[in-house]
Amino acid sequence: MPPIKSRIEELAIFGGKAAFDIAVHVGRPNIGDRRALLKRINDLLDRNWLTNDGPFLQEFEQRICGLIGVKHCIAVCNATIGLEIAIKALGLSGEVIVPSFTFIATAHALRWHGVTPVFCDLDSSTHNIDPLRVVELITKRTSGIIGVHVWGRPCDVCTLADLARRHNLKLVFDAAHAFACSYKGRMIGGFGNAEIFSFHATKFLNTFEGGAIATDNDDLAAKVRLMRNFGFADLDTVMTLGTNGKMNEASAAMGLTSLESLDSFIEANRCNYHLYQQQLTRVPGISLSRYEEDEKCNYQYVVLEIDEAVAGISRDILDDILWAENVLSRRYFYPGCHRMEPYRTDEPQARLRLPQTERLAKMVLCLPTGSAVSSAEITAICALIEFIVKHAEAVKERLSMKPIFGHPWRSASSQEPHI
């Protein structure tokens, strides 16, 4: 376990030795049984079948359908392409209402297809899109709503579904974070017109790169399958506009292997989450976002909210100090999509109508978790945070003598949004 600091001079940001010799990451991949994976890789090489609807892909899709109780699962090469295919297949056009507090992929997938993302504010208790604000944004041009189950915590699915039905809108969920989570006892995957999972390397269940579109709608599933493969219905018949969204066999092999460790990945995350929770409750101004523990959750994100007025230190200073100690915390989803291009040029005043997003984007910090992070490392990270908050005044004073300007790897524009 890294030594606990006793004086602020020992903090790495002031020239002390970093608490961790090797960086501790948010989003370190969970690797399942290597032998099982390598056996599958050998199998696919022996078979000489590397992609295009191979046997591993089919098995992976069936396993997901069984696991989450959804009729159709169409695996894709990443969730961004999954979102794009769903957007095309559902005929979204004009404007679509999305949260700004999400990974940029949610907005880009729309804009890439000429659809305007209309950013909606969030519910600060869940970090998810606020249905009360959604209703205010519906216009004649609105064709749909994309809710994002941020951190794997489900959106207010019932209210959004009701809104979508009443206004004749399509409803899609970006479920990139929410694989193996449930809402009102039912697994995420079957809500709305379609839900899209991410199996990127940084997700708790990964296929290296990958994703999947889940839906109970037969027609939509058939269309999505065509679109994933250039629109091909058979060897030389193209039925529709399409793209190359296929998941390859190596990714599907990784997916099958990861699924075999699903429970242990979740259990590792759950233990990590509770350890953080137990150790951070005593730190004023730092709160851990809660999961509904009577639902299924994957606990894949450990999300702090830093209340500067109480903690005495801002999220950004805490982040800088942690990075110096080799704890690579992340400010997801700062500064919010509306402050990123091309959206900030499109609507420079968007911040005025997104007060909760603005507030939250300055408070949130994600901490390392997953099977690669040990209990000792978590204890050391919590001790560091406690130490920093306890000495907040002295730390700030010392920093004011030698100002830091954020990480060298952060661009000037991301430190200081221009708007």
Q: Is the dihedral of CA 94, 164, 80, 76 positive or negative?
A: negative
Does 29 bind ligand T4K (CB under 6 A)? Our answer is: yes
Binder to ligand T4K among 5, 25, 225, 391 (CB under 6 A)? 25
Binder to ligand T4K among 87, 187, 226, 328 (CB under 6 A)? 328
- In the structure encoding, which two tokens stand for residue 376, read together? 């000792």
| Choice between 331 and 362, CB closer to ligand T4K | 331
Binder to ligand T4K among 105, 304, 382, 395 (CB under 6 A)? 105
Q: What length is written for the chain?
A: 419
Binder to ligand T4K among 100, 106, 251, 257 (CB under 6 A)? 106
Q: State the nearest-atom distance from the C-beta of 275 to ligand T4K, in Å.
A: 20
43/383 Cα distance (integer angstroms): 47
Does 188 bind ligand T4K (CB under 6 A)? Our answer is: no
| Choice between 31 and 65, CB closer to ligand T4K | 31
Binder to ligand T4K among 8, 19, 64, 79 (CB under 6 A)? 79
Strands (E), 11-71: 24-25
Task: Report 329-358 residues binding ligand T4K (CB under 6 A).
Answer: 332
Does 207 bind ligand T4K (CB under 6 A)? Our answer is: no
Ordered alpha helix ranges (H), 48-129? 55-68, 79-89, 104-111
Per CB under 6 A, which region of 20-28, 229-237, 263-271, 411-419 contacts ligand T4K? 20-28
Omega within 30 of 0 (cis) for the link into 342: yes
Neighbours of 372 (CB within 10 A): 15
Per CB under 6 A, which region of 137-145, 173-181, 275-283, 315-323 contacts ligand T4K? 173-181
Nearest position to ligand T4K, beta carbon:
27
Does 201 bind ligand T4K (CB under 6 A)? Our answer is: yes
171/87 Cα distance (integer angstroms): 10
71/197 Cα distance (integer angstroms): 15
Omega within 30 of 0 (cis) for the link into 333: yes
Q: State the nearest-atom distance from the C-beta of 265 to ligand T4K, in Å.
A: 15
| Choice between 102 and 289, CB closer to ligand T4K | 102
Does 414 bind ligand T4K (CB under 6 A)? Our answer is: no
156/131 Cα distance (integer angstroms): 7
171/348 Cα distance (integer angstroms): 27
DSSP 326: T
| Choice between 398 and 407, CB closer to ligand T4K | 407
The residue assigned the tokens 């004086």 is 7
Contact 214, 189 (CB under 8 A): yes
Q: State the nearest-atom distance from the C-beta of 149 to ligand T4K, in Å.
A: 8
390/261 Cα distance (integer angstroms): 39
Binding site for ligand T4K (CB under 6 A): 25-29, 78-80, 102-103, 105-106, 148, 174, 176-177, 198, 200-202, 211, 328, 332
